[in-house]
């Protein structure tokens, strides 16, 4: 896959954190300074350090904005200033399998104004094609090229670092990751099938694992079990140079519209605990997907508005990417959470739901 200099640079920034993933590494990941490891140097089960100065990240790119956010009062003014709207899905477009009120009319209005719409989700259970079918089922006309799920981001990241095709990927996750890896031409094992496997602990039992696994990808997994934890742990700890990749670290997710459910971060956390290693995160709030999107569509980030319901993923994702941000209160975040003295992440604007775009004067929250 050919990539421009901007995305290649972004990938180098993201992949540089893999220095902290090496078994013998004493250096921990720092948001202030990322030591340089060129991901394209991954070969023969190792990552080669290259000689260049550490990348200094500016506070504006990695630190939440401190100033208080404003309630969206003039929707037209914001719309006119933006070329591309990036929408989170869960809690913004739908909750579970239920469409949020006013979404179809809002999307139609934005398209009629010539706005580009992109849909980004940290949920890795579906591929882009499968998400396309979900949009269709909900009566929304969205094509596959407008959808970016963290399942796709995992495969795209492996492509961007020239992950060796003779290496395998062990998947702790669901079908979406498997389908995207297959489309990208990578060998994989694990996934839902390993959810049926059990370990019979008895004296002298040694669990075997494949030594040609070069990456472990962890996403949301309803079939999570101890077998997967142990298999992934063995690969990460014992296979030289094995990458530990997380699709996201979301604490909760919306499986239904009735309540919040434990998110992909709970599965990732189990592997963090057993390996004592931090993962490379390809989903929000990592800037990998933002840089990929900006390069793919040729978008200036100042012309992008990220719309989401989570402060620590969606809004931070937009801020890290240098975009405008709009928080909607139709999902995880409440007004009390936004205004809490403990909250340090402030969006540019907030409103109750995206259908407030339909009114020149947004509804009072």
What is the rounded distance in angstroms from the CA atom of residue 200 to the CA atom of residue 195? 15
Residue tagged active-site, from 83, 144, 260, 278: 83
User: Could you tell me which of 317, 350, 324 has the C-alpha nearest to residue 248?
Assistant: 317
H or E stretch at 243: strand 243-246
Contact 172, 13 (CB under 8 A): no
361 DSSP assignment: B
Q: Which helix (H) or strand (E) holds 109?
A: helix 103-112
User: Distance of CA 230 to CAs 82, 168, 208, 248, 304, Å?
Assistant: 47, 17, 10, 20, 42
CB 351 within 8 A of CB 365: yes
In terms of DSSP bridges, do strands 168-172 and 213-218 run parallel, antiparallel, or are they unpaired? parallel
SS3 state at 274: helix
Question: What are the residues facing 223 on neighbouring strands?
Answer: none
Helix (H) and strand (E) counts in the chain: 12, 18
Burial of 321 (0-12, 13-18, 19+ CB in 10 A): buried
Distances (CA, A) of 351 to 69, 252, 330: 10, 22, 9
User: Dihedral, CA atoms, 230, 231, 232, 236, nearest 10 degrees?
Assistant: 100
**Following DSSP, what letter does each residue of 35-102 receive, concatenated?**
--B-GGG-BTTB--B---PPEE--HHHHS---SPPEE--BHHHHHHT-SEEEEESBTTTEETTEEPTT
* Annotated catalytic residue 83: yes
- Looking at the annotation, which residues are catalytic? 83
């Amino acid at each position: 896959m050919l990539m421009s200099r901007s995305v290649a640079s972004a990938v180098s920034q993201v992949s540089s954190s893999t220095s902290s993933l090496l078994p013998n590494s004493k250096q921990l990941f720092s948001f202030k300074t990322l030591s340089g490891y060129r991901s394209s140097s991954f070969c023969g089960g190792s990552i080669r350090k290259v000689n260049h100065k550490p990348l200094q990240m500016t506070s504006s790119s990695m630190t939440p904005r401190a100033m208080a956010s404003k309630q969206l009062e003039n929707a037209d003014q914001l719309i006119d200033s933006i070329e591309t709207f990036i929408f989170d899905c869960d809690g913004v477009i739908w909750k579970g399998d239920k469409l949020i009120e006013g979404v179809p009319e809002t999307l139609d209005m934005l398209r009629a104004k010539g706005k580009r719409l992109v849909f980004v989700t940290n949920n890795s259970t579906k591929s882009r094609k499968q998400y396309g079918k979900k949009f269709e089922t909900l009566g929304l006309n969205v094509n596959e090229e407008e959808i970016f799920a963290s399942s796709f981001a995992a495969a795209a990241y492996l492509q961007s670092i020239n992950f060796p095709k003779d290496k395998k990927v062990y998947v702790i996750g669901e079908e979406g990751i498997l389908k995207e890896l297959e489309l990208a031409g990578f060998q994989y094992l694990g996934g839902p099938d390993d959810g049926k496997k059990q370990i019979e602990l008895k004296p002298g039992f040694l669990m075997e694992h494949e030594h040609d696994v070069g990456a472990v990808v962890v996403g949301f997994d309803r079939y999570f079990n101890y077998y997967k934890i142990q298999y992934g742990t063995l690969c990460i700890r014992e296979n030289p140079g094995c990458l530990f990749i997380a699709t996201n670290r979301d604490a909760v997710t919306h499986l239904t519209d009735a309540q919040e459910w434990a998110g992909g971060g709970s599965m990732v956390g189990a592997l963090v605990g057993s390996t004592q290693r931090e993962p490379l995160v390809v989903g929000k709030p990592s800037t990998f997907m933002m840089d990929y999107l900006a390069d793919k569509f040729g978008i200036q980030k100042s012309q992008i508005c990220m719309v989401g319901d989570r402060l620590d993923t969606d809004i931070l994702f937009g801020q890290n990417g240098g975009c405008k941000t709009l928080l909607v209160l139709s999902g995880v975040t409440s007004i009390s959470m936004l205004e809490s003295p403990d909250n340090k992440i402030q969006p540019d604007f907030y409103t109750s739901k995206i259908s407030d775009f339909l009114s020149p004067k947004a509804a009072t929250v």
